[in-house]
Amino acid sequence: MYSTENSSFTPSAPGPPAAGPKVKSFGPFRLDAANHSLRRGPERLSITPKSFDVLRYLVENAGRLVSQNELLEALWQETYVNPEVLRKYILEIRKALGDRASHPLYIETQTKRGYRFVAPVTDVDAAEPGHPAASATEQNAASDPFTLRSEDFRRLNPQAKLAIPLALALILVLAASAYFWRARTRAHARQLSAASIAVLPFADLSPDHDQEYFADGLSEQLINSLTKAPGLKVVGRSSAFQFKGQNEDVRGVGQKLGVANVLEGSVREEGNRVRITAALIKVDDGFQLWSESYDREINDIFEAQDEIARDVTAALQVKLLSPTASGNSAASQNTNPEAYQAYLQGQYFVARGQNKDDLEKALAYANQAVKLDANFAPAWAQRSSVLQTRATVALIEPDEGFREARESAQKAIALDPNLPAGYLTLGLIQTNHDWDWDGANASFNKAASLAPGNADVAGNQAYLARDMGRLDDAIGLYQRAVAGDPLRANFHLALGYVLYSVGRYDEALAALDRAEELNPNLSSLHLTRAKIFMFQDRPQEALAEVEKETGEWEKFSGQALVYAHLGQRAESDQALKNLIATHQNDCAYQVAEAYAYRGETDSAFQWLDRAIRQHDPGSPELKTGPLVQSLRQDPRYDEELKKIGLTR
């Protein structure tokens, strides 16, 4: 049975009633059970609540060997916890006390037996002079300039004496109001964020440290599984993986990601066996809600993933979806383990971005996976995603690339109708190439129903809404995507672009600033900011932004626009010439856009017609793009829109 941990525990043999709260003293330390604090002299030491409980139990049983089982039963009465967790707390306690396992002054470890607190312990009354609580009270009374002594009171005139109780009453009312306001605020915040989680990248503890792709893949699969739980906010992979290799405190992680819980763990693979250790931690107090270890053979890895996802969701007390949607499908669970290894290696390269070499490696691993197991649906979805990306950025012939991508996505869906990835990629193909707006909408809606917490789904729904001209819907969906994956720079960039499209320039610039904080080298970032500056009539600032642009076609496009805005026609012509020479097959829409902004309507429509024939993904922006406003008065405009399947 799994349950939320409680920070307190009941000693097995309570002592006689005490006149006041007792403090345990050992060496220079004072352990105050009533205030849950550990002090060295006047200094309060930082220690997590559960570590404090472990120390308290050992101190209260000083001189006696306490077994691991006794500690676990005392502190985690209704929660199963991996015994290895105790080692973590003992290490933290030793660090706080300056103790060493090899020469213990306080905690002695007896291998496979337990722990003994070896320092002498005495009871100290909290009210004793010299105790931190007592001395602080004495000092405050002596030094507080607002403390009124009796002799001072006698000197006051009658009106002042009458005013004092009124002032005190007012202070009490204000203090009470502030207290209850803060309490309501905290309760509301807890209610909003309790059902939220980030899955941090699992650590690779394999002997040769050569299983990074496996650890990353497992983390990503757990994210995908948890997004299927209704009502559970799951931070997207991009944001969660920002903390890979960093030893950041879970409180900081929770604050940056806006979640109440963190799942972390490790993977150790040797031969055909893998050991997975996972722990679910509340970020506000560091409590472990749940932890477990799983020893499996590689071909049982899907069962382990499902089990972890179910256990985590149960620990969070979030109602899980139906069994068919709560993790990997039965088809996946029966896959060839070598195919799964190839799939994970493919995902490792997919996650690295749109680099040509990485995409080629990702496709090679996806092809290997489907060759080893033709019924493995996730590998077909992966293959579809890589082909779709390569076709979109013109690394392969677009028509053929999209055709293969579509077939692979449909294969994935046929093998596993409950796999969101298949619908997600199919929806992108229908958006970017087919311009099948109803089909794309149906695909994304299906993905959303299967994985309601998936930020990628919200991002792609926003992209579709933007293409269809539903800009207000796009803004809301991008905001949802940002909330689900807050450290993903391109979501902030995409939100900024749509805000620019509707003329909300200050908000757009704020979104772009956040994107730049997260990724200063993000392509299209400076181009988008330059466009905003153009519409704000800040041409020199726009030019400065274009010169910072990291993307090749983006820089040429921006130069053509900004130089035209400045009236420097020769420089604009040269930039447009560079754009056509290098990107006429994948940026025909951007060429049309530049001609439209320069007022060359016929050339704009010629390149627009070419963009539509090439199924340029930028073409749907004809409906809402601010740079092509001049074309909307031309009778050819509606004809071009019709070719894309859109209307005004």
- Could you identify the residue written with the tokens 């990248």? 201
Instruction: Provide the domain count of the chain.
Output: 2
CA atoms 330, 332, 338, 339: torsion sign = positive
CB 522 within 8 A of CB 490: yes
Residue 635 contacts by C-beta under 8 Å, 6 or more apart in sequence?
A: none
What's the CATH number where 28 sits?
1.10.10.10
Does residue 61 belong to any structural domain of this protein? yes
Considering the domain architecture, whether residues 94 and 201 belong to the same structural domain is answered as no
Does residue 510 belong to any structural domain of this protein? no
Considering the domain architecture, whether residues 200 and 324 belong to the same structural domain is answered as yes
H or E element in which residue 40 lies: strand 37-40
Average pLDDT over residues 598-619: 95
CB 344 within 8 A of CB 362: no
Choose the most confident range, by mean pLDDT, from 122-126, 183-187, 635-639: 635-639
CA atoms 495, 499, 500, 506: torsion sign = negative
Strand 196-199, strand 261-270: pairing: parallel
Does residue 299 belong to any structural domain of this protein? yes
pLDDT tens digit sequence for 524-536? 999 999 999 999 9
Between 9-18, 177-186, 265-274, 583-592, the lowest mean confidence (pLDDT) is in 9-18
Between 222-236, 312-326, 471-485, 502-516, the lowest mean confidence (pLDDT) is in 312-326
pLDDT tens digit sequence for 106-117? 998 887 788 999
Considering only CA atoms, which of 555, 638, 639, 227 is closest in space to residue 421? 227
Tell me, what DSSP letter sits at residue 299?
G
pLDDT tens digit sequence for 35-69? 888 988 888 888 888 888 899 999 999 989 998 88
One-letter identity of residue 85: V
* Domain end position, chosen among 78, 106, 125: 125
* Phi/psi of residue 103, nearest 5 degrees: -135, 75
Residue 563 contacts by C-beta under 8 Å, 6 or more apart in sequence?
A: 543, 569, 571, 572, 575
Average pLDDT over residues 397-402: 91
* Domain end position, chosen among 63, 93, 125: 125
Considering the domain architecture, whether residues 205 and 323 belong to the same structural domain is answered as yes
pLDDT tens digit sequence for 544-561? 999 999 999 999 999 999
Task: Domain of residue 285: give its range.
Answer: 196-328
pLDDT of residue 565: 96
Q: Predicted confidence band at 133 (pLDDT cuts at 50, 70, 90)? A: very low
Backbone torsion region of residue 291, taken as left when φ is above 0, otherwise alpha when ψ lies between -120 and 50, otherwise beta: beta
CB 422 within 8 A of CB 377: yes
Q: Predicted confidence band at 486 (pLDDT cuts at 50, 70, 90)? A: very high
Considering the domain architecture, whether residues 109 and 215 belong to the same structural domain is answered as no
- Could you identify the residue written with the tokens 């909290």? 126
Residue 219 contacts by C-beta under 8 Å, 6 or more apart in sequence?
A: 199, 200, 201, 202, 237, 240, 241
pLDDT tens digit sequence for 264-310? 888 888 777 888 888 888 888 777 777 778 787 776 776 777 777 67
CA distance 240 to 220: 10
pLDDT of residue 153: 39
Report whether pLDDT(432) > 60: yes
pLDDT of residue 129: 45
Does residue 530 belong to any structural domain of this protein? no
Considering the domain architecture, whether residues 210 and 324 belong to the same structural domain is answered as yes
Residue 183 contacts by C-beta under 8 Å, 6 or more apart in sequence?
A: none
What's the CATH number where 202 sits?
3.40.50.10610
Does residue 474 belong to any structural domain of this protein? no
CA distance 265 to 270: 17
Does residue 598 belong to any structural domain of this protein? no
Q: Predicted confidence band at 540 (pLDDT cuts at 50, 70, 90)? A: very high
pLDDT of residue 154: 45
* Domain end position, chosen among 295, 310, 328: 328
The residues that bridge with 280 in the sheet, in sequence order, are 263, 290
Residue 478 burial (CB < 10 Å; 0-12/13-18/19+)? buried
Considering only CA atoms, which of 488, 555, 491, 548 is closest in space to residue 521? 548
H or E element in which residue 384 lies: helix 377-392
SS3 state at 487: coil
Does residue 98 belong to any structural domain of this protein? yes
Considering only CA atoms, which of 219, 194, 180 is closest in space to residue 284? 194
Q: Predicted confidence band at 77 (pLDDT cuts at 50, 70, 90)? A: low
Average pLDDT over residues 562-586: 96
Does residue 156 belong to any structural domain of this protein? no
Q: For the chain, what is the mean pLDDT?
A: 81
* Phi/psi of residue 474, nearest 5 degrees: -60, -40
One-letter identity of residue 63: G
* Phi/psi of residue 397, nearest 5 degrees: -60, 120
CA separation, residue 623 to residues 510, 620, 642 (Å): 25, 6, 11
CA distance 323 to 317: 16
- Could you identify the residue written with the tokens 């220079």? 28
pLDDT of residue 324: 35
Q: Is the pTM of this model over 0.85?
A: no
Q: Predicted confidence band at 205 (pLDDT cuts at 50, 70, 90)? A: confident
For 1, how many CA atoms within 13 A lie in the half-sphere containing its CB?
6
One-letter identity of residue 11: P
Considering the domain architecture, whether residues 215 and 319 belong to the same structural domain is answered as yes
pLDDT of residue 314: 65
Residue 455 contacts by C-beta under 8 Å, 6 or more apart in sequence?
A: 235, 236, 480, 481, 483, 484, 485, 488, 491
